[in-house]
Amino acid sequence: MDARQMKIKAAEAALAHVEDGMRLGIGTGSTAEEFVRLLAEKVEAGLSVLGVPTSERTARLCVELGIPLRSLDELPELDLTIDGADELDARLRLIKGGGGALLREKIVATASARMIVIADESKVVDTLGAFKLPIEVNLFGLTATRIAIEKAAARCGLSGEIALRSTGDGAYTTDGGHLILDASFGRIPDAEALSDALYRIPGVVEHGLFIGIASLAVIAGPDGARVMT
Ligand code: 5RP
């Protein structure tokens, strides 16, 4: 089974949790897009759901495939969000934001009664942090915010390069008009402490540590999909 087939396997297993009439948060990234394609087939076949997309990219795909969408303001309470992750540990703590949609992803997932993560085995880690931690920041005071992040990380015993995400042509800008700093802290033994420390920095809009948000994960490997709770 290749990487794409594993994403499809995880997405298929998550689709079994989708019921008629659900208000659904729809994630961002290549795994979430496999879920969108499968969901579109169900919608075509008569399943009635309303989706709230976590990015403009996901919204475009949903529109293209005929999945009815609403804004989060129209549907502020959702039944279920299904989304990918860059890393997850055994306690279902996640790193997200590799696709740059972490702010909307966290808002939508938090507005949902349940969040199911879909991923392949390569995303499961003992300790979060091999993947660079995305931190969404305000443009104003970028350097001051970066220094504040370095100091906050140091208080948590962490250090490493903090790089401004680039498109190649310039700085990457999120759907919310912010910038992303990708922090190479390495292993993050106390994700809660780092999360709290980052939230205390005014220039930090959001960070990619999702703690206490996911309720279940469907992990696809070469032999099929397994569930983590
Ligand atoms: C986007 C995300 C994605 O869920 C994460 O990057 C995983 O993407 P993929 O399924 O392509 O590996 O957090 O902001």
Residue 132: the pLDDT is 98
Rounded Cα distance between 122 and 151, Å, is 31
The answer to whether the beta carbons of residues 58 and 67 sit under 8 Å apart is no
Measured CA distances, 130 to 39, 147, 165, 184, 214 (Å) = 31, 22, 17, 8, 20
Per-residue model confidence as pLDDT tens digits over 147-189: 999 999 999 999 999 999 999 999 999 999 999 999 999 999 9
Which segments of the chain are extended strands (E)?
23-26, 50-53, 78-83, 87-88, 94-95, 112-120, 133-137, 162-164, 179-183, 204-207, 209-210, 216-221, 224-228
Of 56, 70, 77, 6, which is closest to residue 35 (Cα–Cα)?
6
**77 is a catalytic site residue:** no
Taking the centre of ligand 1 as the mean of its atom positions, its distance from the CA of residue 83, in whole angstroms, is 8
CB atoms within 10 A of CB 187: 11
Per-residue model confidence as pLDDT tens digits over 2-28: 999 999 999 999 999 999 999 999 999
Per-residue model confidence as pLDDT tens digits over 48-88: 999 999 999 999 999 999 999 999 999 999 999 999 999 99
Token readout for 128 is 């979060």
Phi, psi dihedrals of residue 134, rounded to the nearest 5°: -75, 135
Taking the centre of ligand 1 as the mean of its atom positions, its distance from the CA of residue 120, in whole angstroms, is 11
Mean pLDDT of 132-137: 98
Taking the centre of ligand 1 as the mean of its atom positions, its distance from the CA of residue 29, in whole angstroms, is 4
Of 60, 136, 127, 138, which is closest to residue 104 (Cα–Cα)?
136
* Percent of the chain that is helix, strand, coil (3-state, to 5): 30, 25, 40
Of these residues, 105, 136, 192, 206, which one is catalytic?
105
Whole-prediction pTM: 0.97
Per-residue model confidence as pLDDT tens digits over 22-53: 999 999 999 999 999 999 999 999 999 999 99
The number of the ligand 1 atom at minimal distance from the alpha carbon of 105 is 14
Rounded Cα distance between 181 and 137, Å, is 7
What ipTM was assigned to the predicted interfaces of this complex?
A: 0.98
DSSP label of 98: T
Of 8, 40, 215, which is closest to residue 119 (Cα–Cα)?
8
Cβ < 6 A, ligand 1 pocket: 27-32, 83-86, 96-102, 105
For the chain, what is the radius of gyration of the CA atoms? 17
Token readout for 73 is 């303001």
Tell how far CA 19 is from the center of its chain. Answer: 22
